[in-house]
Amino acid sequence: MFRHFRSDVKTVFENDPAARSRFEVIFTYSGVHAIWAHRVAHALYRRRWFTLARIISQTSRFFTGIEIHPGATIGQRLFIDHGMGVVIGETCEIGDDVVIYQGVTLGGTGKEKGKRHPTIGNNVVIGSGAKVLGSFRVGDNSNIGSNAVVLREVPDNCTVVGNPGRVVRRNGERVGDRLDHTQLPDPVIEMFRAMQGEINGLKDEVGRLTSAGEGAPGTVRAIAPASAENGAQGRPANEVKETMQKELQEGGKSKV
């Protein structure tokens, strides 16, 4: 017990540069007080003194703002910084060397029975306000960003951020595309670009068909069905027009 006591104080110095003296840590660090109260409550819980265990944990909550259910299993050197608003559920298991900031919830989704709270691996950091909900595992050496809402298993060596939580870093490597807030995609411009591409394609196709028909740019095929009589096929458009005008002036019928 005394060994734990010393290790808890040492852990504060390792994690909090603001810690100045042992005296200060022992008397003012609510995270340390909550862990000590939990050790007592958990021992009673394991001996099935459930109500007394609960009274101790709720008293601790009253003084520290940290609620650790007596049934929760916590490892060595847990550091709860600031602490206010931390909730740790009954079936939660926490490994060694874990850091938890204020406002963290290690809870259930409300849909599960039995084991319904997360299992936190070793050397995990859980940022302020993060919610880890469900009976999955958060892998060793992972970081949960502040205010993340984690609803799925987290592999080892990952950083998870956002709501819903997503892995943005794994084994030190960036995962997925980075969202550049200064260069967000514009769907309207994208649509116009696509339309411009289609227009260019159609222009090319028309040019290709035109040059295949007459062999000279600026000529079009006559739309009217070609026949040996009118001989309009393949004649330049202005020539066809002139012929039609001439025939109209002469009072004859256009045969084009």
Ligand X SMILES: CC(C)(COP(=O)(O)OP(=O)(O)OC[C@H]1O[C@@H](n2cnc3c(N)ncnc32)[C@H](O)[C@@H]1OP(=O)(O)O)[C@@H](O)C(=O)NCCC(=O)NCCS
Q: Please, which of residues 172-201 interact with ligand X by CB under 6 A?
A: 174, 178
CB of 152 closer than 8 Å to CB of 135: no
Stretch of 34-42, 161-169, 201-209, 246-254 contacting ligand X, by CB under 6 A: 161-169
The reply to whether 164 sits near ligand X by the rule CB under 6 A is: no
The reply to whether 45 sits near ligand X by the rule CB under 6 A is: no
C-beta closer to ligand X: residue 175 or 202: 175
CB of 127 closer than 8 Å to CB of 109: no
C-beta closer to ligand X: residue 31 or 70: 31
Stretch of 29-37, 39-47, 143-151, 213-221 contacting ligand X, by CB under 6 A: 143-151
The reply to whether 169 sits near ligand X by the rule CB under 6 A is: yes
Q: Which positions from 84 to 123 touch ligand X by CB under 6 A, shown as an x/- string?
A: -----------------x----------------------
CB of 19 to ligand X, least distance (A): 14
**Cα 97 to Cα 227: distance, rounded to the nearest angstrom:** 92
Q: Which of 95, 124, 92 is nearest to 106 (CA)?
A: 92
Q: Which positions from 121 to 140 touch ligand X by CB under 6 A, shown as an x/- string?
A: ----x-xx------------
- CA–CA–CA angle 39, 43, 47 (5° rounding): 165
Using CB under 6 A, count the residues that bind ligand X: 16
Q: Which two tokens stand for residue 83?
A: 């602490």
**Helix H or strand E encompassing 107:** strand 105-107
CB of 161 to ligand X, least distance (A): 4
Cβ neighbourhood burial of 51 (10 Å; 0-12, 13-18, 19+): exposed
* Angle between helix 50-64 and helix 30-46 axes, rounded to 10 deg: 170
The reply to whether 145 sits near ligand X by the rule CB under 6 A is: yes
CB atoms within 10 A of CB 153: 14
Binding site for ligand X (CB under 6 A): 82, 101, 125, 127-128, 143, 145-147, 159, 161-162, 168-169, 174, 178
